[in-house]
Chains A and B, each alone.
Chain A
Amino acid sequence: MPLMGDRLAAEPTVFERSRPGRRSATMPALDVAAVDPAEALPGVELAEAPPRLPEMGELDLLRHFTRLSHRNHGIDVGFYPLGSCSMKYNPRLAEVAAALPGFRQLHPWAPDAAAQGTLALLADLERWLCELTGLRAATFQPAAGAHGELTGLLLIRAYHSDRGDARRTIIVPDSAHGTNPASAAMSGYDVVTVPSGDGGLVDVDKLEDLVDESTAGLMLTNPNTLGLFELEIERIAAILHRVGALLYYDGANFNAIAGQVRPGDMGFDVVHLNVHKTFATPHGGGGPGAGPVVVSQRLAPYLPAPVVVRHDDGTWAWDADRPKSIGRLHGFHGNAAVLIRAYSYLLFHGGDGLQTMSAKAVLNANYVASKVSDVLPLGYGQHQPMHEFVATGKGLKAHGVRVTDLCKRLIDLGYHPPTNYFPLIVDEALMVEPTETESQETLDDFVAALRQIVAEAASDPQLLHDAPQTTPVTRLDEGRAGRELVLRWHPRSG
């Protein structure tokens, strides 16, 4: 194999690379009496043999995972305009911060006296998130955005039931992310869908018809999942608040407005922030993230316990004495090390840095939109997009080409494809979020690639159907994966 050929060559599984008796681990020499498990654990059913884990020397181990990494695209490798995900540069300063021994070695059940640095940091972070959202108090337990949604909806439920008010429904727009209705169902609510109007914004007249005394709340992303700012948000808030219902802000798109517009000022009562999006903590292939929830004063009593408080002597502590709390959502304190990264990010930017950050994210999205919309029109073109835009590839259908094909061809041209087929209300949706950390040249090259592919769709559609050709595998048979359900390695499954 050529020396650089491993980027495309198949990599056996770690089990196939395994050889009996190989090992990496060394244990400290035992300086106490060795205990015989069978004697020490009478009546306990012991393992006949240890679990069949891989057996590898350390260099082979490292090579295996290095080769796997070669078969993976990340922001560090190239442009990653995955809409709704804010795939921006993940600053390494945050990695260094989170790895400081004082943070890394801190046990979750260490007494508060041993965690003063982390508690003070969380208290600062709470204050900053309150300032950014225009709200009053926060919880850090939620481990991701959807976890925050569940938390926020449970807060809304607790608020209503504390007032003896049993409400049944949560309204979500037809453009909402799937986690919104799923979280509403987990919170015991019926889901009511409000349609979008012609401009891609919530149809506020229809919303008015749907809202009544049984409405617990509305979940909204603003800008919405089309990348459009809900211009009538104040009227929307008034409609909900008039009947005592609350507004939930899905912060997935906060990168568009951080430091520019505050959810609390728009009338939102509860917000989750995806710190792995807006505050650039690494997405890790699908987590870990963090989804802190920030609330208005009237929801604060219901926050998950414990919460960070300051004693009169200036020390910080966890306060679990919260009689109205919804309880707990995390076994420890949430993804603390992810929050430390977010803290570093905020400290680096400062207030003014956040304002230029969000504005440049909006600039980059509008720049790309303006350069491709003649060939890939916006799904809803009436309003100016914010940090992302949703184009429709429905024009490609005339050539028998779908947005999937365009996306796969983008891979051959060096780009991670944008989000596609979401939101559901745009036919052949292509959701592009460049983020602020990409340069004009990168965006120009990407635009050229998109335009080239649209031209190829007409001249050589097969090229798109056959894409990608430059990857370790071509298109995969997802139907077969679902039928055969090979979900783990077996000695025969190779």
Chain B
Amino acid sequence: MDFAPHTDDDLAAMLAAIGKSDLADLYRHIPESLRVRGALNLPPGRSEDEVLGALARHAAANTPDTVCFAGGGAYDHYVPAVVGAVISRGELLTSYTPYQPEVSQGMLQALFEYQTVISELTGLPVSNASLYDGGSAVAEAVSMACVATRRNKVVLSAALDAPSRQIVRTYGHPLGREVAVVDHDDRGTTPAGQVADDVAAVVIAQPNSLGVVEDVRAQAEAAHAAGAKLIVKLEPTAVGLLATPGSQGADLVIGEGQPLGQGLSYGGPSFGFLACTHDQVRRLPGRVVGQTVDRRGTRGYVMTLRAREQDIRRERATSNICTNQTLCAVAALVYVTWLGPQGLRELAAACLSRARHAAARLTRVDGVELAVSGPFLKEFALRLQGVDPHAVVGGLLDAGYLIGPVVPDGPTAGAVMVAVTERRTAAEVEGLAEALADVLRTQRRELVAAAGPAAGPAAGGESA
């Protein structure tokens, strides 16, 4: 089965028109030894109904209908219906890169509006039209900083999420880029120590991967004193409450766009955003949309600064990126427009209130405490004493609650992240707290049993 509309008569007429006897004839000039003979080892074609049935079975084998307290860059924020209504419009959904601006003004204007929104959220004047995701955006920003400073060393906060740190290494390795990591302190914040004068950039996250608010201003001063750039990976809903990193001196602000109207979808697609100061526009990766006029003087939009890009500059391009995440960027624009400034503030404030409530409740469970003491917004790290955190996450899943990720490395390794969005109710927090107490009790009992009879009575239970 395929989606081609050809009837047998069409096929016959068209083949005759080009002097071919049959469809196979179209491949006959290719060396015979290379042509597939017979059927492929693939399932047979199916009807739409059957395909959707098979997909529904796969989807049902996932267990997403847990109460989601997971964070780590992706959050269970509500996605309003209007987002789907816009991005499922065929004119937008089924278009491609706006190479022909006269027939692409809708997308181009939307991207111009998106760039404006990102500029507002980051506090920097210039945004590109999206990158693949937050992780690759960190790597792209690092490349920009290395080119700008002609240095090849970066300092990453240990409280920059582990995947982003890995991506920076993967991108940097072939270019001989040196990567150093600074540990966070007991508060969970990155110390703004002296930066060596061969460092291209310092990279922190706001709030960081432990959920803690960093002192961007101090970081910017330290980086700038060494002639380095400050790159901030921003969780974008945070600026509903916090000052924008751009206003605090960050040179490059990037981030994972998932919290802005993207849904979870196992982490993709969403998008990465990247904003910078004016002096860096010619080093930006990817598409950038600019305003101009047409021959009649009517306002319109085009892709601009094209001489940076791979199709023109080839091996000297600022990046290889071509297809990016445009439709996700438009979804974010719709979401942010739906929120408005007051909505963003209310969202961030609601997350803060709910997260503080959840942290207070969960730390009343025996053997559960905050892993670090710094100020947090919607996400925080819990230390679970004397148990395997992965087993606890698994136990909670069975009880219908999702928390995580487990902090994989650094001074807080083994702590578990808990994120609380505007959707999480007091009753759900209560349910999580009770389930956690239960799971911890079971875990400790098992540990004791495994350690043998001499190990003494099981600790745990709930004191509150």
Residue in A51, A76, A440 whose beta carbon sits within 8 Å of that of B120 in the complex:
A51
Which residue of B113, B327, B354 contacts A14 across the interface (Cβ within 8 Å)?
Answer: B113
Residues A178 and B310 in contact, CB atoms below 8 Å apart: yes
A99 to chain B, nearest CB (A): 8
Q: Are B290 and A24 in contact (CB under 8 A)?
A: no
Residue from A28, A116, A437 having most chain B Cβ neighbours under 10 A: A28
CB-defined contacts of A102 to chain B, threshold 8 Å: 56, 58-62, 64
Which residues of chain A are within 8 angstroms of B256 by Cβ–Cβ distance?
331
State whether A348 touches B48 (Cβ < 8 A): yes
CB distance from A168 to the nearest CB of B (A): 11
Assess whether A349 is in contact with B2, with CB atoms less than 8 Å apart.
yes
Residues in A neighbouring B277, C-beta threshold 8 A? none
Tell me which residues from 25 to 78 in chain A have a Cβ below 8 Å from any Cβ of chain B: 25, 27-28, 30-35, 37, 40-56, 58, 61-62, 64-77
Bound-state CA distance A437–B293 (Å) is 36
Choose from B5, B43, B346, B393 the contact partner of A25 (Cβ within 8 Å): B346
B315 touches A55 (CB 8 A): no
Cβ contact within 8 Å between B163 and A43: no
- Hey, which chain B residues are within 8 Å of A97, CB to CB? 51-52, 55
Taking a contact as CB atoms under 8 Å apart, the answer to whether B175 and A347 are in contact is no
Q: Which of A93-119 contact B (CB under 8 A)?
A: 93, 95-98, 100-111, 113-118
User: Does chain B have a CB within 8 A of A241?
Assistant: no
- Interface size range on B against A: 35 or more
Known A28-B422, A52-B341, A286-B323; contact A478-B289, beta-carbon cutoff 8 A = no
Q: Please name all residues of chain B whose beta carbon is closer than 8 Å to the beta carbon of A360 when the two chains form the complex.
A: 2, 4, 6, 11, 23
User: How far is it, in angstroms, between the C-alpha of A454 and the C-alpha of B91 when the chains are bound?
Assistant: 29
The interface residues of chain B lying within 8 Å CB-to-CB of A348 are 1, 45-48, 51
The listed residue with most B CB atoms (<10 A of its CB), out of A42, A52, A61, A476, is A476
Whether A486 and B290, one on each chain, are in contact in the complex, defined by CB atoms closer than 8 angstroms, is yes
B177-203 CB mask vs A (1 if < 8 Å, else 0) is 000000000000000000000000000
Cβ contact within 8 Å between B321 and A146: yes
Partner of A144, one of B6, B52, B66, B324: B324
Measured CA separation A198–B422 after assembly (Å): 64
Contact A288 B268 (CB under 8 A): yes
Within 8 A of A (CB), among B400-452: 402, 404-405, 422-423, 425-427, 429
Interface residue from A15, A42, A383, A482 paired with B305 (Cβ < 8 Å)? A482
CB-contact partner of A179 in B6, B320, B405, under 8 A: B320
Whether the Cβ atoms of B317 and A182 lie closer than 8 Å is yes
A189 to B43 alpha-carbon distance, docked (Å): 40
**Any B CB within 8 A of the CB of A456:** no
A330 interface residue, CB < 8 Å from B? yes
Is B59's CB under 8 angstroms from A117's CB?
yes
How far is it, in angstroms, between the C-alpha of A147 and the C-alpha of B324 when the chains are bound? 10
Tell me if A439 is interfacial: C-beta within 8 Å of chain B: yes
Q: Are B95 and A191 in contact (CB under 8 A)?
A: no
Check if A489 sits within 8 Å of B6, measured CB to CB: no
* 8 Å CB interface, B13-41 against A: 13-15, 17-18, 20, 23-24, 26-27, 29-31, 33-36, 39-41
- B31 lies within 8 A of A231 (CB): yes
Residues of B contacting A280 in the complex (Cβ-Cβ under 8 angstroms): 3
A329 contacts B170, CB within 8 Å? yes
Q: Say yes or no for A197: interface residue by CB 8 A criterion.
A: no
Residue of B whose beta carbon sits closest to that of A88:
B3
Nearest Cβ on chain A to B412's Cβ, whole angstroms: 16
Task: Enumerate chain B residues within 8 angstroms of A343, measured Cβ to Cβ.
Answer: 55
User: Does A321 lie at the interface of the complex (its beta carbon under 8 Å from any beta carbon of B)?
Assistant: no
- A300 proximal to B (CB < 8 A): no
State how many angstroms separate the Cβ of B390 from the closest Cβ of chain A.
8
Set A24, A41, A131: member contacting B338, Cβ < 8 A: A24
What's the nearest-Cβ distance from chain A to residue B268, in Å? 4
Is B100 in contact with A411, judged by CB distance below 8 angstroms?
Answer: yes
Give the docked Cα–Cα distance between A93 and B45 (Å).
14
Q: Cα distance A53–B298 when bound, in Å?
A: 25
* CB-based contact A349/B45 at 8 Å: yes
Tell me which of A54, A91, A147, A332 contacts B3 (CB under 8 A): A91
Query: Is the beta-carbon distance between A25 and B340 smaller than 8 angstroms?
Result: yes
A316 to chain B, nearest CB (A): 10
Chain A contact surface mostly: loop
Q: Could you say which of A43, A143, A262 has the most chain B C-beta atoms within 10 Å of its C-beta? A: A143
Q: Which of A149-157, A206-214, A392-400 contacts B (4 or more CB under 8 A)?
A: A149-157
| Min distance, Cβ A264 to any Cβ of chain B, angstroms | 10
B340-A56 in contact (CB<8A): yes
B90 and A331 within 8 A (CB): no
Pairwise interchain contact A350-B1, C-beta atoms closer than 8 A:
yes
B408 closest partner in A (C-beta)? A320
Give the interface residue-count category, chain A.
Answer: 35 or more
Residues of the A chain whose Cβ atoms lie less than 8 Å from the Cβ of B34:
233-234, 261-262, 265-266
Kindly identify which residue among A51, A330, A468 contacts B344, using a CB–CB cutoff of 8 Å.
Answer: A51
The answer to the question of A459 belonging to the interface, with a C-beta cut-off of 8 Å to chain B, is: no
Q: Which chain B residue lies CB-closest to A41? A: B375
The 8 Å CB contact of B241, one of A47, A73, A95, A104, is A47
Using Cβ atoms and an 8 Å threshold, which residues of chain A touch B167? 327-331
Which residue of chain B has the shortest Cβ distance to A142 in the bound complex? B132
Assess the A367–B14 pair: CB atoms within 8 A: yes
CB pair B337–A285 under 8 Å, yes or no, is: no
Which of chain A's residues 377-402 have a Cβ closer than 8 Å to chain B?
383-384, 386
Question: Using Cβ atoms and an 8 Å threshold, which residues of chain B touch A407?
Answer: 100
Which residues of chain B are near A357, meaning CB under 8 Å?
Answer: 2-4
Q: Quick one: closest B residue to A316, CB to CB?
A: B61
Which of A67, A261, A347, A353 sits near B30, CB closer than 8 Å?
A: A261
Are A285 and B321 in contact, CB atoms less than 8 angstroms apart? no
Contacts of B311 in A (CB 8 A): 177-179, 422
Docked complex: A472-492 residues within 8 A CB-CB of B: 472-478, 480-482, 484-489
Which residues of B, 259-280, contact A by the 8 Å Cβ criterion? 263-269, 271
**A240 within 8 Å of B (CB atoms):** no
Is A11 an interface position by the 8 A CB rule? yes
From A71, A334, A440, contact of B13 by CB (8 A)? A440
Confirm or deny: B464 has a beta carbon within 8 angstroms of a beta carbon on chain A.
no
| Chain A CB within 10 A, most for which of B40, B46, B90 | B40
CB proximity of B120 to chain A, nearest CB, Å: 4
- Chain A: minimal CB distance from B352 (Å): 5
In angstroms, Cα B98 to Cα A423, docked, is 18
- B387 part of interface (Cβ distance < 8 Å): no
Our pick among B48, B76, B107 for the contact of A72 (Cβ within 8 Å) is B107
> B residues within 8 A CB of A24?
80, 82, 337-340, 343
Q: How far is the CA of A65 from the CA of B293 in the complex (A)?
A: 21
Tell me the complex Cα distance, A316–B31, Å: 40
Q: Does A196 contact B (CB under 8 A)?
A: no
A336 CB-CB contact with B under 8 Å: yes
Q: Of the candidates B97, B296, B343, which one forms a contact with A27 in the assembled complex, judged by CB atoms under 8 Å apart?
A: B343
Q: A44-B242, A55-B340 are in contact. Are A336 and B36 (CB under 8 A)?
A: no
- Among residues of B, the one whose C-beta sits closest to the C-beta of A24 is B338
Q: Do A68 and B109 touch across chains, with their CB atoms under 8 A apart?
A: yes
A135 to B200, CA, bound (A): 40
Residue B342 is within 8 A (CB to CB) of chain A in the complex: yes
Report the nearest B residue to A280, measured CB to CB. Answer: B3
The chain A residue with its CB closest to the CB of B101 is A476
Residues of chain B contacted by A437 (CB below 8 angstroms):
3-5
The 23 listed contacts between A and B (C-beta, < 8 Å) are A14-B337, A15-B113, A32-B353, A34-B349, A50-B240, A72-B105, A87-B94, A90-B93, A90-B94, A103-B59, A107-B264, A109-B72, A261-B27, A286-B287, A333-B267, A348-B47, A350-B42, A356-B2, A359-B26, A370-B17, A440-B6, A481-B292, A486-B291
| 3 residue pairs, one from A and one from B, having the closest CB atoms | A332-B267, A102-B59, A331-B135
- Other 17 A-B pairs with CB < 8 A, given A47-B244, A100-B59: A25-B340, A25-B342, A28-B425, A31-B426, A61-B337, A69-B91, A97-B51, A108-B264, A118-B266, A150-B320, A154-B173, A233-B31, A328-B163, A351-B43, A384-B26, A436-B4, A484-B292
